[in-house]
Amino acid sequence: MKIPDYVGSLAFGLKMGVILPGMDIVAEILKSLSCCNKDGLLGDNDVICITESIVARAQNNYITVNDIAREIKEKLDLSDDSTLAVIFPIASRNRFSMILKGLARAVPRGEVIIQLSYPFDEVGNQIIDPEFTEKLGKEALTLKDLGDRSFKHPVTGVDYINFYHEIVKAEGARPTLLLSNSALKALDYKPDGVVAADIHTRESTKNIIMKEFSNCITLDQICTEGEAYSEWGLLGSNMSSGERLKLAPREGKALVETLRLRIKEQFGHDVQVMIYGDGAYLDPTSGIYELADPRAAFAATDGLDCLREGVKYKYLADQCYHEEHKTAEEIEAILSESVRKKMAKDCMEREGTTPRRMEDVLASLADLVSGSADAGTPVVIIKSFLA
C-alpha cells in the first residue's frame, strides 16, 4: 500500500502494545515502523512523532511525593514549621495536585500560601466567576472575601480553591488561599521560601519576586538530577499511580537523533523525529489553552528547527483569475512556481500565512491525532508536511 500522489499532508497513528519501564523504546518503535515500511507507509521527509508518556515510562522516570518534599525542603532551606508560598499554579488535578501535596509535606507543621491568579490561571482555567470579582472590585481576594461561595470549574466541575485547600490541610500544614495577579502579594505573608509555580511565565514571575525576596525557585529547578530526573524538572509531569508522578522524558534530544539514525540505517529513509506533549492550541469553546507542558515538543531533530511558512493560495488564485484572467492550467503553473520561489516576508502572496514554529504545529497535529494516547496510538506519522 502506497499513499497516492493526489493525497496531500496526512497524519495517522500507530497502534502499539503497552510500553513498560525498562523496555527499549527505540527498538519498540522500530518494530512498529517496520510494518509501515513493509506496506509503503514510510518514506523520506516523514515526521515520526512520539508521545512523551511512553518515552518517560520506558525510562522509568518516576518520582514520589516524598521526593518532592525532601528536595524542596533542602533547596529552600525549610523546616517543618516554615511558611512556603506557592505562586500562580495552574488549576489541574493531573498536573499540580501531587506537586502541591509534596510541597505541603515539606512543611507539615507550617503554612502553605497558595496564590492563584484570577479569574483564570495562565492556561485559561477559570478559578472564579469573573462577574463576581468585578462586583467586589478588589485587587486581592481571600477566603474571607469569598465567604461560603463555591466556584466550580465550568468543564471539570471541581472547586480548585477548596480542592487545593484540602490537599494542604491533609498534610498537616495550614492552608492560606489568596487570589491576586501581583506576583509580590504573597510576600505580605512573610514566607520563608517561594515557589514560582507557573509554566510559561515562570522566569518573569521569578525575576519579579527575586527583586524583593531571594529564596525563590521555579518548578523546573526541582527533580533535575538523580536516578529519575528531567531537564524540565517538575514541568511536564503527570499524576501516576499511588503517590508517584511521571516526569517529562529525559535526554530527549539524544533519543530522537538515535531513532532518526536507526531509521535511516534500517529502512533507508531520511525522516525527522520529535517527542511531543500537549498541543499548542486554545480551545475556542472553553477558552483553555491546552499547553500545560513547558513546550509542545520536548525534543526534535534539527530539521524541525524552522518556521512553517507558506504561500497564500487563495489570494493568488483570485488575483490570477479576476485581475489577470488566467486559465485554470495557467493558475496551477503559477501556484507551483510560487511554492518554490523565494518571497519577501511582507509580500501580499504570503499575506495571512502567519509563520509558526514547525515543531509546535506538528506536535499539535500529533496530539490531536493521538488524543493524548487514549486511542492507543502513541506514535504518529505525518507525511507530506515538510516536502
The phi and psi torsions of 160 (rounded to 5 degrees) equal -70, -25
Q: Which 8-state DSSP code applies to residue 228?
A: S
Same domain assignment for residues 236 and 260: no
Please indicate, yes or no, if residue 181 is contained in any of the structural domains: yes
How high is the pLDDT of residue 337? 64
Structurally, how many domains does the chain consist of? 3
Same domain assignment for residues 208 and 261: no
Same domain assignment for residues 188 and 266: no
pLDDT band at 331 (very low <50, low <70, confident <90, very high): low
Please indicate, yes or no, if residue 5 is contained in any of the structural domains: no
Q: How far apart are CA 235 and CA 1, in angstroms?
A: 41
The better pLDDT of the pair 106, 280 is held by 106
Same domain assignment for residues 41 and 170: no
Non-local CB neighbours of 356 within 8 Å, separated by 6+ positions: 307, 308
Please indicate, yes or no, if residue 126 is contained in any of the structural domains: yes
What pTM, to 2 d.p., does this model score?
0.87
Gap between the terminal Cα atoms of the chain: 20
pLDDT surpasses 90 at 360: yes
pLDDT surpasses 90 at 306: no
Per the structure, the complete domain to which residue 361 belongs is given by 10-61+249-306+356-383
pLDDT surpasses 80 at 374: no
Mean pLDDT of the region 144-160: 89
Same domain assignment for residues 329 and 229: no
pLDDT band at 333 (very low <50, low <70, confident <90, very high): low
How high is the pLDDT of residue 285? 85
Please indicate, yes or no, if residue 201 is contained in any of the structural domains: yes
Same domain assignment for residues 154 and 195: yes
Same domain assignment for residues 253 and 377: yes
Please indicate, yes or no, if residue 3 is contained in any of the structural domains: no
Q: What percentage of the chain carries pLDDT values higher than 70?
A: 87
Number of other CB atoms surrounding residue 343 within 10 Å? 12
Strand ranges (DSSP E) for 181-271?
193-196, 216-218, 238-239, 244-246
Last residue of a domain, one of 245, 264, 283: 245
pLDDT by residue (tens digit) across 171-187?
999 999 999 999 999 99
pLDDT band at 104 (very low <50, low <70, confident <90, very high): very high
* CATH label of the domain that carries residue 262: 3.30.1330.100
Same domain assignment for residues 139 and 109: yes
Query: Degrees (nearest 5) of the Cα angle 251, 254, 257?
Result: 145
Same domain assignment for residues 93 and 170: yes
Same domain assignment for residues 38 and 95: no
pLDDT band at 324 (very low <50, low <70, confident <90, very high): low
How high is the pLDDT of residue 249? 97
How high is the pLDDT of residue 352? 46
- Cβ proximity of 260 and 272 under 8 Å: yes
Please indicate, yes or no, if residue 22 is contained in any of the structural domains: yes
Please indicate, yes or no, if residue 365 is contained in any of the structural domains: yes
Same domain assignment for residues 66 and 172: yes
All three cell numbers of 185, joined, read: 502579594
